[in-house]
Amino acid sequence: MIEIEKNGHILELYIKTNEFNSLNVEFFRALRKAMDDAEKDEGVKAILLSGRNDKFFSNGFNPEIFVGKDLAEIKSVLGEALSACGKVLLANRPVVCAMNGHSMGVGAVLAIFSDYRILVEKKGRIGFPESLIGLNFPSTAGFVLKELVGIKSARELLYSGKGLKAEEAVSLGLVDDSATPEDLIAKARKWCDGFANMALESVIGIKVSLRDSQRLIANQLETRDIDLLAAAIHSANGQEGMRSILEKRRPVFR
């Protein structure tokens, strides 16, 4: 699910699930454990999150974990997913996300929950296509997105489901920078190197100060986010949206 490499003060996490790097429960459990381990390791001052795939950083949830499942099962899966994503958002180390390809849905949420974002040029898009498959969007992720790009741009991204090229995402402020495939990881490591000589107390303390307001929002909204998203996925339109991904066709909503 995740390849883990230690590179000096950098813990490098690489998503490796399938041809689309779509995500399931096992991935989210592995991610949570990796983030927990990083918080306990005093040798880690930065985390690099990327993917092992020529086309996809992550295409989002694997639809198979939701199709035909009852509401309780869907809520259980979402609990694991939101918990793991929350670990990225509220990690006590800076997270640099190097998107090696398309970053969609919950893959894009992992990106915006990171502290720094680099999107590969030409080969990558970042977007939130939930509206195209009949789903809603978690409020915590919506709050973070609005902080990054403003309410008008967030509204357009979420209602349209549009995927942005690297230069569009940089211009909007959704990502910090772009890079060629050859330079992507090197550039991400260079950002991580900025923390190498800092006192660990400074690294942790500053990260906490930047995220504490979002921590309060996340803690208040987690249960509501799970309930509302589970209801949308379990609905007839949500199930149609998930099946349409598996069947590689456009959904037909009621």
Amino acid at site 155:
R
Residue labelled with tokens 């499942």: 69
* Residue range 239-250: mean pLDDT, rounded: 96
Which pLDDT score is estimated for 54? 86
As a whole number, mean pLDDT of residues 41-58 equals: 95
pLDDT at residue number 159: 98
* Tokens, residue 197: 């000589």
217 contacts 143 by C-beta, under 8 angstroms: yes
- Residue 125 and residue 221: Cα distance in Å, rounded? 28
Q: Tokens 């790097």 map to which residue?
A: 21
HSE (side-chain half, CA atoms, 13 Å) at 178:
21
| pLDDT at residue number 138 | 96
Confidence of residue 34 (pLDDT cuts 50, 70, 90): very high
Residue 184 has pLDDT above 90, yes or no: yes
Q: What is the DSSP string of 132-161?
A: GGT----HHHHHHHHHHH-HHHHHHHHHH-
Q: What's the farthest any 2 CA atoms get from each other in the chain?
A: 57
Contact 99, 221 (CB under 8 A): no
pLDDT score of 172 more than 90? yes
On whether the CB atoms of residues 14 and 69 are closer than 8 A, the answer is: no
For the chain, the distance separating the N- and C-terminal CA atoms, rounded to the nearest angstrom, is 36
Handedness of CA 90, 3, 73, 134 (dihedral sign): positive
State mean pLDDT over 77-106: 97
pLDDT bin (cut points 50, 70, 90) of residue 83 is very high
Top CATH class of 2-184 equals: alpha beta
